[in-house]
Amino acid sequence: MITLGKSEIGGSIYIPSSKSQTIRACLIALAARGRSIIHNPLYSADTRSCFKALESLGCTLDYGEDTLVVDSTDAGKLTSSSVCLDCENSGTTTYLLYGIAGTLGLDEYTVTGDEQLQKRPIRPLAEAYSDLGLDYDCPDGCPPVTVTGHLQGGHTSIECRTSQYLSSLLLSLPLASRDSVIDIPLLYEKPYVNMTMDWLDRQGIRYSCTDDLQHFEIAGRQKYRPFEETIKGDFSSASFFACAAAITSCTLTLKGLDINDKQGDKGLLDILEDMGALVTCSPDGITIQGPRQLRGGTFDLNAMPDCLPVLSVLGAVTSTPLKITNVRNARIKETDRIACMHHNLSLMGLRVEEEEDGLTVYPGQLRENVTVSGFADHRIIMAMAILSLVTPGSLTIDDESASAVTFPTFFTLLEKIKTKGAPDND
């Protein structure tokens, strides 16, 4: 439990490395069958789940303070014919590892996770891989799922209500024994697919796709190469502090980010500008200056559903209602984030209308001294912490521990910026 209060903010902070990029780097290192060096990796609960899964597959990991070395020379050379890949709470690891594990020569493997992850749908991905040579047993349509066979390639079609389905296929199918074709009649979160494609391009992987990313052709019998790469700052993590500046009408500089990175959540900066914030990019960092009064509006978050919790809290102080649309995929994350944010913001005294694919938040007077639920969801916890900056009295979150999933230093950094001119956290 943590109790937070109203505060102005200021100064500058370094944003931790990207979870999505760190996990992609690790899984390509697994497939590369050699020694890869990852500089500036994120060490968090989600990435450590990925590291443990790699070790279960026979990789050796050397953990440095600023460098992670992954040696996958012996990946798949296990004494047991069956292996359990416990991805804990990491959905990214679960989905993206599923197919790559099927290229390691294992007789059988089981992909599972914690209680929360065992509620996340995996059957669409399992069915797609069954077209490509991997048989599965998954009675409930969610993990655990037991996989047998070897990735052969071929043709499949899949609706991707999470982009992680497609990213999984794109990462694994270059290693298949023959060429593959994927048709995608529905695709959410396209920027995350662009992130995966960027890794394929850096590896020289041969593939082609249509401009709308609804049809891919991937050559089989390819290889990944061991590499040395540096992970940039995480725009998903940065979104909370960008919104902190916006909601408090203060100025904050975010360092360690690469504006040219393929991360989709950097699109939140455009939304904040539409709402009246001033966003300035310089070699020193990205500076967000909150306006005296944020504007409301209607915002399509299909490409960046992880921003729903933190963007929705801004609706408390906007001049007109804030409507978030086309983000049905937010219901199948760690929690049903639309329903959870409707619950918390209503507890805070706001009028909130929940739709199937989003919600509308009406500005209003926030209640004092309220206790809300974090729902064991890191993004909901951090979003409510940002709302506390403009809450009269205090706001208590019943359990803040899940913030460590992607951002273990979040509350430390939040305290650092509560005094104007706070020093950098370097």
Determine the Cα–Cα distance for residues 151 and 218; give it in Å rounded to an integer.
Answer: 13
The C-alpha atoms of residue 243 and residue 196 are separated, in whole angstroms, by 27
Residue 65 CB contacts under 8 Å (≥ 6 apart), including other chains:
none
Q: What whole-number distance in Å separates Cα of residue 192 and Cα of residue 164? A: 8
Active site residues: 306
> What value, to the nearest 5°, has the Cα angle with vertex 188 and ends 185 and 190?
100
CA distance linking residue 115 with residue 406, whole number of Å: 18
The answer to whether residues 272 and 297 touch, using CB atoms and an 8 Å cutoff, is: no
Q: Which of 268, 320, 278, 312 is nearest to 295 (CA)?
A: 320
**Neighbouring residues of 369: CB distance < 8 A, sequence distance ≥ 6:** 393, 394, 395, 396
CA distance 77 to 106: 8
For residue 399, the one-letter residue type is D
**With 0-12 CB in 10 A as exposed, 13-18 as middle and 19+ as buried, what is 143?**
buried
**Count of residues making up the chain:** 426
- CB-CB neighbours of 216 under 10 Å: 20
